[in-house]
Amino acid sequence: MEEMPNNSSLSEFLLMAFADTRELQLLNFALFLGIYLAALLGNGLILSAIACHHRLHTPMYFFLLNLAVLDLGCISTTLPKAMANALWDTRDISYQGCIAQVFFLFFLFGSEYYLLSVMAYDRYVAICKPLHYGSLLGSRACAQMAAAAWGSGFLNAVLHTATTVSLPLCQGNAVDQFFCEIPHILKLSCSNTYLREVGVLVFSVSLCFGCFVFIVLSYVQIFRAVLRMPSEQGRHKAFSTCLPHLAVVSLFVSTAIFAYLKPPSISSPSLDLVFALLYSVVPPALNPLIYSMRNQELKNAVRKLFPYILLKHP
Q: pLDDT digit string (tens) for 35-72? A: 999 999 999 999 999 998 888 899 999 999 999 999 99
Quick check: 260 pLDDT over 80? no
- The answer to which of 72-76, 98-102, 225-229 has the lowest mean pLDDT is 225-229
Q: What is the pLDDT of residue 154?
A: 96
Quick check: 266 pLDDT over 80? no
Rounded mean pLDDT of 94-121? 93
Percent of the chain with pLDDT over 70: 90
Nearest alpha-carbon partner for 148 in 123, 118, 105: 118
pLDDT band at 302 (very low <50, low <70, confident <90, very high): confident
CB 273 within 8 A of CB 19: no
Q: What is the pLDDT of residue 157?
A: 93
174 three-class SS: strand
Record the pTM: 0.87
Consecutive H or E run containing 93: strand 92-94
Quick check: 31 pLDDT over 50? yes
Rounded Cα distance, 160 and 239, in Å: 37
Q: Is 122 exposed, middle or buried (0-12, 13-18, 19+ CB in 10 A)?
A: buried
Rounded mean pLDDT of 91-96? 91
Q: What is the pLDDT of residue 254?
A: 83
Q: Which residues pair with 92 in a beta bridge?
A: 14
**Better-predicted residue by pLDDT, 173 or 76:** 76
Rounded Cα distance, 61 and 292, in Å: 12
Rounded Cα distance, 285 and 99, in Å: 24
Report the chain's mean pLDDT, rounded to a whole number: 85
Rounded Cα distance, 57 and 45, in Å: 15
Q: Is 121 exposed, middle or buried (0-12, 13-18, 19+ CB in 10 A)?
A: middle
Q: What is the pLDDT of residue 69?
A: 96
- The answer to which of 61-75, 109-123, 267-281 has the lowest mean pLDDT is 267-281
Alpha-carbon 223 to chain mean position: 26
Q: pLDDT digit string (tens) for 157-202? A: 998 898 888 888 877 888 888 899 888 888 888 766 566 667 777 8
Q: What is the pLDDT of residue 314?
A: 46
181 three-class SS: coil
pLDDT band at 5 (very low <50, low <70, confident <90, very high): very low
CB 130 within 8 A of CB 47: no
Q: Please report the domains of the chain, with CATH numbers, ordered by start residue.
A: 12-311 (1.20.1070.10)
Rounded mean pLDDT of 211-226? 92
